[in-house]
Amino acid sequence: MSIFSIGVDDLTAQKRFEPDSRYAKHDLDGDGIVSDEELRREERMIRIENSDRMADQQRRMVWVSLLSVCAGVVVVLTPLVSEARLNIIIPFLQVWSITNLGIVATFMAASAWSKRNGSKKEKI
């Protein structure tokens, strides 16, 4: 028996994880062996979950931005703000509205761009 055959046998054996190992959850087919395919599939699921969380956060940010602009305009149009103070508030409200609506527009443009480019990627 040569040392080369022992080395090859060791390399071809697949890794088995302990039952309480943090990697055991990656064994999708339950055979006790975590294959490269199972690890790739798990990594892909983690990436999908992370991008979903990020998209949810971005949507919340856009909604808060849009609603704050609407609330600001409504407050200025109510009798809570006197006509004397309008000259001070309106320039601030204009800049604030433009920047917040810029956030909304950027989100919409980025969403449309990623959907268009994502659909091309899926076809490949």
Task: Give residue for tokens 């480019």.
Answer: 117
Cα–Cα distance, 122 to 114 (Å, whole number): 12
Whether the CB-CB separation of 38 and 28 falls below 8 Å is answered with: yes
pLDDT of residue 60: 92
Q: How far is CA 84 from CA 48, 95, 96, 101, in A?
A: 53, 19, 20, 27
* Whole-prediction pTM: 0.58
pLDDT at 124: 43
Q: Is the pLDDT of residue 53 over 90?
A: yes
Q: What is the CA radius of gyration of the chain?
A: 28
Per-residue pLDDT tens for 58-101? 889 889 988 999 998 898 888 888 888 888 888 999 999 999 98
Spell out the domain ranges in the chain. 15-123
